[in-house]
Amino acid sequence: MRSIAQPGPQVPARIQWVEARGRAFAFTLPAGVPLLEGARRGFAEAGFSSGVLSMRGGALGPFAYVMPALSKTDANAAFYSDTFRPEGITQLKIGAMTLGERDGAPFFHCHGLWAETDGHLHGGHILPEESIVAEPFAVEAFGIDGAMFLAEPDPETNFKLFGPVARAATDARTDRRAFAVRLRPNQDFAAALETFCRQRGMLRARIHGGVGSTIGAHFTDGRSVVPFATELAIRSGMIAPGADGTLQAEVDIALVDYLGGIAEGRLMRGDNPVLMTMELVLEAL
């Protein structure tokens, strides 16, 4: 399987996880507020301070993002591009967000695809501080109680990354068993989730959110992404028994690679290792 050497020592536990309770809900992001503040408000009104959300359309402007890029030093296996600030209104096609906390304040990690005023499809990592909701639009969310995504220094990748940590449960209304999860580098995405579910007796689980990166990508229809540095958003995902009774992850994604290539489709099981991280919530069904 493909692998990329990271600058720091490998952490023995390759999956960082916390069991929690959760609930799916929807809300509308109001126009004129930063995307981060709109997301924070929506979660707070539902009784949550952390979780994940999915966007299927929407308008942002002003808007700012970065793309994956090669690292100019040996401090990181890959890095970010300079910041892009397209003019006018940017129309989201798909986005996945992890909402949590960084440096004592709300923060998010968000990847997606969008059309800029040039009409072309672009993608990357949306910057929380500089992206404003241009028109109200609805989003689907999953809040977690008893866990939070917290950005902390990660010695292995030499980035500050979101990972789940335990938090005291609150009186938030929840109705599902859920797991906040972060996959570490150089393990197959599907196999890691299948093993995780099997070890916890979960025969079916739905993926909510899903923000991270893979080492290129191989799809079930035979297409491949060769450039190794990507930024990926999960469109949908399920882990359930296949025809032979074994657990199988079916994950549909959208990504951009460091050359600007866009790809969408279903990931092939067993051939899509994580590059830096993969954050998501698993809802036990």
Each domain of the chain, given as residue ranges in start order, spans 21-143, 177-284
Nearest to 50 by CA among 285, 280, 283: 280
In this prediction, the residues of the chain whose per-residue pLDDT falls under 50 are none
Q: What is the pLDDT of residue 115?
A: 98
pTM listed for this prediction: 0.97
Cα separation, 128 vs 257, in Å, equals 21
Cα separation, 265 vs 94, in Å, equals 13
Which residues, listed in sequence order, are joined to residue 190 by a DSSP beta bridge? none
Assign domain 177-284 to its CATH architecture: 2-Layer Sandwich (3.30)
Nearest to 281 by CA among 178, 150, 175: 178
Q: What is the pLDDT of residue 234?
A: 98
Cα separation, 44 vs 228, in Å, equals 37
- CA–chain centroid gap for 48, Å, is 18
21-143 CATH fold: 60s Ribosomal Protein L30; Chain: A; (3.30.1330)
Can you point out the beta strands (E) in 67-175? 68-69, 79-80, 90-102, 105-115, 121-126, 133-135, 137-145, 147-154, 159-166
Which residues, listed in sequence order, are joined to residue 139 by a DSSP beta bridge? 27
Cα separation, 156 vs 120, in Å, equals 36
Same CATH topology for 21-143 and 177-284?
yes
Q: What residue type is assigned to position 164 of the chain?
A: P
Q: What is the pLDDT of residue 213?
A: 98
Q: What is the pLDDT of residue 1?
A: 87
Which residues, listed in sequence order, are joined to residue 29 by a DSSP beta bridge? 137
